[in-house]
């Protein structure tokens, strides 16, 4: 028989008893006694693996069985009874560790024993003053200690909730027995035998018990609170690594977590999937103990699961997919990354698109929402993500067309031309206006230029101009509304032409801050000769093109 080690375990289990038996053997072989509590609802036949282990290892004992229910006193009752028996049967223990059947040791027993040898008087139990707790699920933290909880949360949720509501309404507050100051922490601890004994033999134990029987989830507060009264040195951290999801359920470890667990140097982890054969095989094998003491480093694992919790809670911005479909306004960002929308620039400048893509770190598309066909950069027929240039596919859901494009090209900023002649959909315009990722720059009235130059012909010139002006006016109203969160710049054509270089530089500085110091020269303006006369003709035909601003009607060329 192995020499008795100064560390003993209380193990609570209710399922996967073969795994529990494996872990119990591991500790027994290191000389650590284990007092095993099996929930009374487990049929006797299921205890077979445990009995087999106990037959081989006299340090393994079965504690009196209780029926345990989540969040209730029964768990404390079972723990107390088992701990008392463990201390009575193995009086020389120095530390006692509470574990579950699905806790897995991650380091050789010798390392844990040596580590505790160096800290003979220290209790390891997470114990946080209740006012400072930030993690409790369901909004109950202080109230766990001041209300009554006669109904089981798992089985009688409705009664549980109503009874809490009722007590809140009546302003009920139980008195907390002095000198108890409520503390909370995960339920798995490693206490010195001295502290544990002091808790179990405290003359006021009955009084505390009467109180804690009515506290909600006492397994996260009973020992955590009372240890504060008796500990000589208390380190408020558990030796068992547990991470909880947003519903308060522990994250489960699988075979693929092997490296993560190995590198954490934690002593114990829960909870482990019973069928994670690789984890059990690896961590229960004879790993060589390292000579130098190594401190547990759970941070990597914390980060790993914190990221997962964040993905569940807030998700990836700008992604619309089968399991993330934020209702309008539910998500902070509508798209995945910043992008630029230009209205009127290609009409004013010669070769604007080429100039822009040469100058700024920007993928410059043509009119993505051209009525006939999507004008991707380089006139491509298909774009990243296999987005098609079919206008029908795009117009089937223009919002998703744009959010798909921005999602698929994240990492490369996109820009495109957009104007009143485009296939504008009210939904799309709303999306653009309220998207903080959109940088929208508009030269109002520039849509008149192609018509004036004859680049685009129509039978009903006047009607077409009126239609464009109306559409642009509506878009501008939207951009100027309170809800707009896009970065918007609007100039009338006349305003813009007063200092095109400066205006262009301001836009570029936002896209590529490096360009702010030495703004590049703007591309050449397209010829505007005769445009004033064209406007005068329109005005006299009864269609004043007001959105251009006070563009000089005379033949004089505007100042460049």
Q: How far is the CB of 310 from another protein (least distance, A)?
A: 9
Return the ∠ at Cα 288 (arms to 287 and 289), rounded to 5°: 110
Q: How far is the CB of 154 from another protein (least distance, A)?
A: 11
**Alpha carbons 465 and 475: distance in angstroms, whole number:** 15
Does 382 sit near another protein (CB under 8 A)?
A: yes
Does 470 sit near another protein (CB under 8 A)?
A: no
Position among 55, 386, 517, 559 found at the interface with another protein (CB under 8 A): 386
53-61, 124-132, 381-389, 496-504 -> range binding another protein (CB under 8 A): 381-389
Number of residues binding to another protein, judged by CB under 8 A: 53
Is the Cβ of residue 427 or residue 477 nearer to another protein in the bound state?
427
Is the Cβ of residue 254 or residue 456 nearer to another protein in the bound state?
254
Q: How far is the CB of 330 from another protein (least distance, A)?
A: 5
Is the Cβ of residue 326 or residue 366 nearer to another protein in the bound state?
326
* Interface characters, 241-270, with another protein (x: CB under 8 A): ----xxx-x-xx-xxx--------------
Query: HSE-up of 406 (CA within 13 Å, CB side)?
Result: 26
Backbone φ, ψ for residue 244 (5° rounding): -110, 150
Q: Is 364 helix (H, G, I), strand (E, B) or coil?
A: strand
Is the Cβ of residue 224 or residue 264 nearer to another protein in the bound state?
264
Q: 295-301 long-range CB contacts below 8 Å, 24 or more apart?
A: 295/265, 296/239, 296/241, 296/264, 296/265, 296/266, 296/267, 297/263, 297/264, 297/265, 297/266, 298/241, 298/264, 298/266, 300/260, 300/263, 300/264, 301/241, 301/243, 301/260, 301/261, 301/264, 301/266
Q: Provide the b/e sequence for 152-185 (b: ≥16 CB within 10 Å).
A: ebeeeeeebeebbeebeeeeeeeeeeeebebbbb
Q: Where are the beta strands (DSSP E) in 160-200?
A: 183-184, 190-192
Is the Cβ of residue 15 or residue 22 nearer to another protein in the bound state?
15
**Alpha carbons 167 and 488: distance in angstroms, whole number:** 52
Is the Cβ of residue 316 or residue 487 nearer to another protein in the bound state?
316
Is the Cβ of residue 41 or residue 390 nearer to another protein in the bound state?
390
Give the residue from 466, 415, 468, 463 showing the smallest Cα distance to 437: 415
Position among 137, 159, 361, 393 found at the interface with another protein (CB under 8 A): 393
Does 388 sit near another protein (CB under 8 A)?
A: yes
Position among 55, 392, 517, 559 found at the interface with another protein (CB under 8 A): 392
Residues 277-336 that bind another protein (CB under 8 A): 304-305, 307-309, 311-316, 319-327, 330-332
- Per CB under 8 A, residues contacting another protein are 245-247, 249, 251-252, 254-256, 273, 275, 304-305, 307-309, 311-316, 319-327, 330-332, 381-388, 390, 392-393, 396-397, 400-401, 404-405, 407-408
């Amino acid at each position: 028989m192995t020499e008795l080690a100064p560390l003993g375990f209380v193990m609570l289990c209710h399922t996967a008893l073969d795994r529990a038996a494996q872990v119990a053997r591991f500790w027994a072989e290191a000389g650590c006694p284990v007092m095993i509590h099996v929930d009374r609802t487990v049929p006797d036949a299921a205890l077979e693996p445990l009995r087999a282990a106990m037959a081989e290892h006299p340090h393994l004992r079965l504690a009196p069985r209780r029926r345990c229910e989540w969040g209730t006193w029964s768990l404390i009752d079972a723990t107390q009874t088992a701990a008392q028996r463990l201390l009575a049967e193995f009086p020389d223990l120095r530390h006692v560790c509470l574990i579950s059947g699905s806790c897995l040791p991650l380091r050789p027993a010798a390392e844990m024993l040596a580590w505790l040898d160096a800290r003979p008087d220290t209790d390891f139990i997470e114990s946080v003053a209740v006012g400072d707790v930030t993690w409790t699920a369901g909004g109950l933290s202080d109230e766990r200690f001041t209300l009554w909880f006669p109904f089981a949360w798992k089985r009688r949720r409705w009664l549980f909730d109503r009874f809490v509501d009722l007590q809140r309404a009546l302003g009920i507050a139980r008195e907390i027995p002095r000198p108890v100051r409520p503390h909370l922490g995960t339920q798995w601890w490693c206490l010195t035998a001295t502290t544990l004994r002091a808790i179990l033999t405290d003359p006021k134990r009955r009084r505390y018990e009467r109180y804690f029987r009515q506290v909600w989830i006492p397994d996260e507060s009973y020992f955590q609170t009372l240890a504060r009264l008796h500990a000589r040195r208390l380190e408020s951290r558990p030796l068992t690594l547990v991470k909880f999801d947003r519903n308060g359920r522990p994250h489960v470890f699988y075979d693929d977590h092997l490296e993560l667990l190995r590198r954490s140097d934690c002593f114990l982890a829960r909870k482990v999937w019973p069928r994670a054969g690789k984890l059990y095989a690896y961590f229960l094998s004879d790993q060589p103990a390292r000579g130098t003491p190594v401190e547990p480093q759970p941070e990597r694992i914390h980060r790993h699961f914190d990221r997962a919790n964040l993905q569940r809670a807030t998700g990836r911005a700008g992604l619309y997919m089968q399991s993330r479909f934020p209702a309008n306004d539910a998500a902070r960002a509508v798209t995945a990354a910043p992008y630029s929308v230009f209205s009127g620039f290609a009409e004013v400048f010669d070769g604007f698109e080429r100039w822009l893509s040469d100058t700024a770190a920007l993928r410059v598309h043509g009119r993505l929402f051209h009525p006939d066909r999507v004008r991707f950069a380089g006139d491509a027929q298909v774009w990243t993500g296999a987005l098609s240039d079919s206008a029908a596919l795009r117009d089937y859901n223009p919002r998703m067309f744009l959010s798909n494009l921005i999602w698929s090209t994240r990492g490369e900023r996109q820009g495109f031309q957009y104007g009143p002649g485009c296939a504008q959909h009210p939904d799309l315009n709303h999306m653009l206006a309220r998207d903080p990722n959109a940088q929208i720059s508009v030269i109002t009235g520039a849509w008149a230029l192609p018509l004036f130059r004859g680049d685009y012909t129509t039978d009903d010139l006047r009607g077409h101009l009126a239609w464009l002006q109306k559409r642009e006016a509506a878009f501008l109203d939207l951009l100027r509304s309170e809800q707009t969160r896009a970065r918007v710049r609007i100039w009338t054509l006349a305003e813009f032409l007063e200092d095109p270089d400066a205006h262009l530089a301001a836009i570029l500085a936002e896209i590529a801050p490096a360009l702010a110091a030495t703004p590049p020269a703007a591309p050449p303006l397209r010829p505007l000769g005769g445009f004033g006369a064209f406007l005068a003709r329109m005005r006299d035909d009864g269609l004043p093109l007001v959105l251009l601003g006070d563009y000089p009607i005379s033949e004089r060329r505007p100042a460049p």
